[in-house]
Every structure is written in C-alpha cells, then in structure tokens.
Structure 1
Amino acid sequence: MTLAALNAELHHVLADAQLIATRLPGLEKLQLWLLDPANLNRAFSSEETRRLLDQPPYWSFCWGSGLALARWILEHPQQVRGKRVLDFGSGSGVVAIACAMAGAQQSIACDLDPQALLASTLNAELNGVELTLAEDFFAVTGDIDLILAADVLYDSSNRVFLEHFRQRAASTMLADSRVRDLQHPSYRLLSRLQGQTWPDLGEPLAFREVALYGNTH
C-alpha cells in the first residue's frame, strides 16, 4: 500500500489533485497526507462536482471534530494509555493515530471505506505508529476499553450506534460539531472543544465548536 495508490484513488475524483504531508493547526506533533489546499483554489468542472458529491474523498481532509478529539487525547493521554481502543469511522485515522501516540495498547481504525483504511495506514506510517485496521465494526472481537467517534452523529441513521457502542465497550467518547445538545440518557456533555477542518473549507465559525460527549458503564 503506497502513497501513489492513494493519490490514484484521489485522481478518480479530482484528476490533478495531490496529497501532501501536512502539519495540523494546534496539533503540530502530528501530520497527515491531506489534499493540497491549492487543489481547492479553483473552480471545479461540472463533472468534478458530480464526482465530489458522488464519492467525496473525505479521508483526504482532517475534519474539525477529529482534529479536536485527537488534540484532546494527546492532552489527556491517561484516557487511552494501556487500553484497547477503537476509532469508529476513522477517515484519515487522525484519532486512532493520536491514541497510538498517547500509548494505547492497541488502536483500531475502523471504516467501511477501503481508501480510508489505506489513508489511515499511510498516515500512521508518517507518524511512526502502528494501527490495527477493521472494515466491519461488528466483526471486531475481544474486549474494547474505549470507542471513539468523531462526526458520526450528523447522520440520524447513525444514532443506532449509540447503543451498540454502549454495549460493546466500557466507555465511549463522541466528538461532533453539528450536534450541540445530544439528548440521550446514557451520554453526557464532557467539554466543548475547538476544531477546524483542514485544509480549510471556510466552514462557518459555529462549526468550529465541537461538543465532546462521554459514556461510562
């Protein structure tokens, strides 16, 4: 699995785009292969726009909630140190990588998209850590101490996973910039964090505030 292979996947959507090693704002100790911002500073053709909508390369961005959660983990390494953790909907792998850097016993990047798992692998190599990959959440065996998920609640169909997480792991942490007041008896607001999608998509300032929710049995 190589960077060239991941760039080739990106070219299926944006023919001239490139991934570059990028330091993250407020999280300089961690870097990811992300879409070169120069790729965004132009008008897209109608065909490119269609492809972006049909198959968005979301793994080529570090989304604000993932950035905020990764930063929080590295500021509170005791939350993951020595634990078996799973990053659900891992995308670029930023949260799983932060867990590995913070001393997790095993950090699992779980995503249905094979390109996201490739991105997570290459990003882990870039940061000198190892991840375990999982395509199917329900196929992961063994005890899980902590499940983490960033930006999964915006899709209401994903709310069913709140109970799956609670039943599967000793504790759960959810970061979301779209859901400010999660109404669920098993989850409570832990903190409000700041996060910014990178490369910058010019999102409204309101989406740079990230709610951190937690559940512990």
Structure 2
Amino acid sequence: MRGARIEATPLPLVPEISLFLLNEDYPQHGLTDEEVRWLMDNPAYWCFCWASGQVLARFVLDNPQWVAGKTVMDFGCGSGVVAIAAAMAGARRVIACDLDGDALRATELNAELNGVVLECIDDADHFSEHCDLLIVADVLYDRANLPLLKTFLERADDVLLADSRIRDFSEPGYIRLGGERAFTVPDLAESEEFSHVSLYHGGLTVQQAGSG
C-alpha cells in the first residue's frame, strides 16, 4: 500500500508501551479497489492497537495484583499489547496466542521493543497447563465468537475481558468492572460508540457469587 509503513508508536492511553503499528498518516482514503479487496481478504489486525486492547493494558498496569506471579494467557493477542502489559506488571509467565502468524511475529517484535519476554503459540489448545488468568480484548466483534465466553471460564481461574461491541452483555459467570474511553491507533474514524470500552471479570468466584 503506497504511503504506508510500520513504525514504533507510543500509545496515548498506555505511554509506557510502544508498538510497531501502521503510520498515523497512512493513505486511508486513497486506496484503489484492488488494494481494498486485498486488505479485506488479508486483514492485518496486528498493525493497529484497538481501543479495548489499550483499555485492558492500562487496567493491568494500574492493577498489577491481577497478574503478579501468575501464569497469564492473552487470547487473540493481535499486537500483543495486553500480554506485554501483563509481563511488565510482574506476571510469572505470559503466553500470547493468535491464529495469525503475522500477529505472533508482530507480538514477538513488540515484546522485544518493550524489553519483555513472552511465549507465543498459534492455538490455545496447544497449551494444556494450568492458567491462572486469561486476558481477552476485542474478540467479540463477531457475535459468532460469543460461545468462546463459556470456553474462557473453563481455561483459567479468572478471565479479564475488554469489549466495545456488545451492549447487551449478560453472559453467566461475568460481571462488569467498569469502563473507559479509548480510540484505535492509528485512528480508523470508527463510530463514537466503539470508543466506549467495558471491562468484565469472569471466573469461579463470580459464578459462586451469582449462585449464592
């Protein structure tokens, strides 16, 4: 894509972290039909830092007790921003998981950029060990992914999930912790509603409280 490049970019909501992202002044409105079709067929999610990822990374850095000394998996890691935040906040072990090989390579480079060590895998089913915490951001953009919410509760003791797409979130075993406003970097000029990110906690303690 003409005029596009990848460059180290500090995040506005998480200035402690920089990521290799698409340049802010990329030619968003100057693409040919062929380039648009190629991008639709080969979405490079990893070269953007989505709003929910920033909000969850900020939460983890501000509340290190959620990850300190624990084994943490970042499911659908994308650029790796939340996995990096978990490592910076003192997690004992961080596994970054994504089906996209380019995303895993980007995550490795971003981890190196920020001076942390992550383990990268392409399938969560390949990790059979105990996981204390599962961190998940921006996976509910497709409602077909909603059944994953139950699966998440089976994979770890606790789940921290950030989402800006689902407004009628009522999955058993989850409670809303709060929310924050953020934008995708670089800016995609998305609808204002997608800048409002909610944080949820899922886990056994939540399920027990709900049944008590």
Q: CA deviation at 1:198?
A: 0.2
- Secondary structure at 2:146 match in 1: helix
- Give 3-state SS (helix, strand or coil) of 1:175's partner: strand
Distance 1:108 1:63 in 2: 19
Identity among equivalent pairs (%): 48
Report whether the alignment pairs 1:60 with 2:47: yes
Are the equivalent residues in 2 in contact too, given 1:110–1:134 (CA < 8 A)? yes
Q: SS of 2:26's equivalent?
A: helix
TM-score, length of structure 1 as denominator length:
0.91
* Residue number among 168, 182, 185 corresponding to 1:198 in the alignment: 185
**Following TM superposition, by how much is the alpha carbon of 1:16 offset from its aligned partner in structure 2, in angstroms?**
4.8
TM-superposed CA distance for 1:15, in Å, is 5.3
C-alpha separation in 1, matches of 2:141 and 2:44: 18
Deviations 1:125-147 (A, max 9, x none): 00000110010111112100000
Q: Aligned to 1:39, what secondary structure does the other structure show?
A: coil
Bigger shift: residues 134-143 or 120-129: 134-143
User: 1:176 aligns to what?
Assistant: 163
**Contact 2:2–2:27 (8 Å) recurs in 1:** no
**How many residues of Structure 1 are paired with residues of Structure 2 in the alignment?**
204
- Deviant stretches of 4+, over 4 Å: none
CA separation in 1, counterparts of 2:116 and 2:85?
A: 9
* AA of the residue aligned to 2:203: T
Q: Which residue of 1 aligns with 2:57?
A: 70
How far is the alpha carbon of 1:117 from its aligned partner? 0.1
Structure 1 residue 157 displacement after superposition: 1.8
Q: Does the 8 A contact of 1:124 with 1:131 survive in 2?
A: yes
Tell me if the contact between 1:60 and 1:92 (Cα under 8 Å) persists in the aligned partners: yes
SS in 2 for 1:197: coil
Please identify, of 129-138 and 177-186, the stretch whose mean Cα deviation from structure 2 is larger. Answer: 177-186
Q: Tell whether 2:143 aligns with 1:153.
A: no
Give the stretch that moved more between structures: 84-93 or 32-41: 32-41
In structure 2, what is the equivalent of residue 89 of structure 1?
76
Question: How much does 1:189 deviate?
Answer: 0.9
CA RMSD of aligned residues (A): 1.2
C-alpha contact (below 8 Å) 1:93/1:109 kept by paired residues = yes
Unaligned runs of 5+ residues in structure 1 are 1-13
